[in-house]
Chain A
Amino acid sequence: MTAPGALPISDGRLALSALLILVNVVLSGLLRLGLGRSLLLAASRMVVQLLLVGTVLEWLFRQHNPLTILLLGLVMASIAGVSAVQRTRARFAGIYANSLLSVLASSALITGLAVSGIIRPQPWFAPQYLIPLLGMVLGNTLNGISLGLDRLMEGLTSRREQVEARLSLGASRWEACLEVVRDAIRVGMIPTINSMMVMGLVSLPGMMTGQILQGATPAAAVRYQIVILFMIAAATALGVVGVVLLGYLGLTSREHQLRLDRLRTRT
């Protein structure tokens, strides 16, 4: 693969860049932060994972079978669904299934709509478009889902007395949990809103930087960025609403009971 525009980085210079991690290591040593080991581990993981992904993507971009690409998308979405749960502080039966379902449905719907309706690559499954876009959508949805789930579980636990007082006075489970559910959805969606707020002022997104280095005009790169942010906002909203509603259903019963006994705090 030849990159038009961007200067290739040789192996020697790549190794040189790794020396930058010494800044972190030295600081950690001087200030006794105790981060030395995790820094080295994180840095090595980053390098290995990216080199691997580079190889995988090179192979992938030569594929012409839509099934292979969709399968890879499915694997990526599943990893996102599982990781979203792994960041939460408590668990309940079905939490993984809820997260997987929410991530898969929201990212498939939004990425599908955006790729087929807005970007329209030829062929429609062109991996150069589909895979990076899906990746960005998944990364953000994952974040929103884990925040929303965490807040839902925390909210139902800390406001248990209020929720049960409402139930005792004849509220349905929906009426009793509405405040907590709303709050959890809001918390899951806020990071996306905040990031749109400062986009371009504080942060220059990685993908835009990449496109510009590759020789795209900033004006063209910006257009991609706008589409992606709208995709992220929509997918995150759908994913968060889905996972919070499924979680609410799982932690209450058809008999309008709050079932915190189904909740297990991680030890």
Chain B
Amino acid sequence: MPLLEAEGLARQLEGRLLWSDLGFRLEAGDRLGLVGPSGAGKTLLLRQLAWLDPLQRGRILLAGRSPSSWTLPVYRSRVAYLPQRAVAFAGTVEQNLRQVLSYASHRGQAYDAPRILGWLQQLGRGAGFLALAAERLSGGELQLLALLRALQLDPEILLLDEPTASLDPASTERVEALLHQWLARGQRACLLTSHDGAQIERFTGRRLSLTP
């Protein structure tokens, strides 16, 4: 059974049909690149998969079950969507990480300091990063925070919208390495958009093309 399956999706935006009869399957280990010109609806497709917008047509199944049958908060912590513009919540980086774990859907999950510190080290940041005020982080640092905030929930699917757009090449490489490592840890897959053709070439195994 595929991890995530989409079938017959269609999306209309202000009378314009962005896509129709769109479908794909994500199997464990898949790295699917979502490509297409600006305005083709790449972000809207990721939002759709995260169930942030009402579904117009088709169906989406996670491990064979619909999002509603998982309950949406549980579904979304297993299919984590990272928007292009990472969002800071009030407080320090560590408070950002802890706050997310307080949601009812993560009951039983505790803040894992050693694991976070390990990831930070891999990303070339020290423990001092945790004490920074999240709202004053640079765009790139905010993307790192957003990635860690999602990774700590142990999602099975990551929906990444331009995950390294604000990062320098060295940090981009580190993020990709961290993602590979996360993928290798279990039954996981990710879907990614990037304006960087080389990153799509390098990181993804298959491509899904959205053409208007």
Contact, CB under 8 Å: A168 / B76:
yes
Contact, CB under 8 Å: A170 / B77:
yes
Contact, CB under 8 Å: A172 / B81:
no
B111 within 8 A of A: no
The stretch among A56-64, A108-116, A237-245, A252-260 that forms the contact with chain B is A252-260
Contact, CB under 8 Å: A167 / B83:
no
Chain A residues near B149 (CB, 8 Å)?
169
Give chain A nearest CB distance to B93 CB in angstroms.
Answer: 15
Chain A residues near B146 (CB, 8 Å)?
165
- What is the chain A residue whose CB lies nearest that of B100? A169
B169 within 8 A of A: no
Which of A167, A169, A253, A256 gathers most chain B CB within 10 Å? A169
- What is the chain B residue whose CB lies nearest that of A172? B73
Cα distance A255–B104 in the bound complex, in angstroms: 15
B131 within 8 A of A: no
Of the candidates A168, A175, A255, A259, the one whose C-beta lies within 8 Å of that of B81 is: A168
Contact, CB under 8 Å: B104 / A172:
yes
Cα distance A255–B83 in the bound complex, in angstroms: 19
Contact, CB under 8 Å: B87 / A161:
yes
Q: Give the size of the chain A interface in residues (CB under 8 angstroms).
A: 18
A154 within 8 A of B: no
| Given A168-B50, A169-B80, A256 contacting B73 (CB threshold 8 A) | yes
A51 within 8 A of B: no
Contact, CB under 8 Å: B103 / A165:
no
Chain A residues near B80 (CB, 8 Å)?
168-170
> Tally of A-B residue pairs with Cβ under 8 A?
71
B98 within 8 A of A: no
Q: Give the size of the chain B interface in residues (CB under 8 angstroms).
A: 28
A93 within 8 A of B: no
Contact, CB under 8 Å: A168 / B103:
no
Give chain A nearest CB distance to B70 CB in angstroms.
Answer: 11
Which residues of A167-185 are within 8 A (CB) of B? 167-172, 175
Chain B residues near A170 (CB, 8 Å)?
73-74, 76-77, 80, 100, 103, 105-106, 153
Contact, CB under 8 Å: B103 / A171:
yes
Contact, CB under 8 Å: A175 / B103:
yes
- What is the chain A residue whose CB lies nearest that of B159? A168
| Given A162-B89, A175-B103, A169 contacting B83 (CB threshold 8 A) | no
Contact, CB under 8 Å: A168 / B89:
no
Which residues of A212-267 are within 8 A (CB) of B? 253, 255-259
Give chain B nearest CB distance to A14 CB in angstroms.
Answer: 57
Contact, CB under 8 Å: B73 / A255:
no
B182 within 8 A of A: no
B63 within 8 A of A: no
Cα distance A10–B70 in the bound complex, in angstroms: 75
- What is the chain A residue whose CB lies nearest that of B81? A168
Give chain A nearest CB distance to B107 CB in angstroms.
Answer: 11
Of the candidates B52, B67, B104, B106, the one whose C-beta lies within 8 Å of that of A168 is: B52
Q: Mark B72-106, 1 if CB is under 8 A from A, else 0.
A: 11101100111101010100000000001001111
Q: Mark A190-223, 1 if CB is under 8 A from B, else 0.
A: 0000000000000000000000000000000000
Which residues of B128-171 are within 8 A (CB) of A? 146, 149-150, 153
Chain A residues near B74 (CB, 8 Å)?
170
Given contacts A169-B80, A171-B100, 5 further A-B contacts (CB under 8 A): A161-B83, A165-B146, A169-B77, A175-B104, A257-B54
Chain B: residues with CB nearer than 8 A to chain A? 50-54, 67-68, 72-74, 76-77, 80-83, 85, 87, 89, 100, 103-106, 146, 149-150, 153
Could you pull out 6 A-B pairs where Cβ atoms are within 8 angstroms?
A169-B100, A169-B149, A171-B100, A172-B72, A255-B67, A255-B72
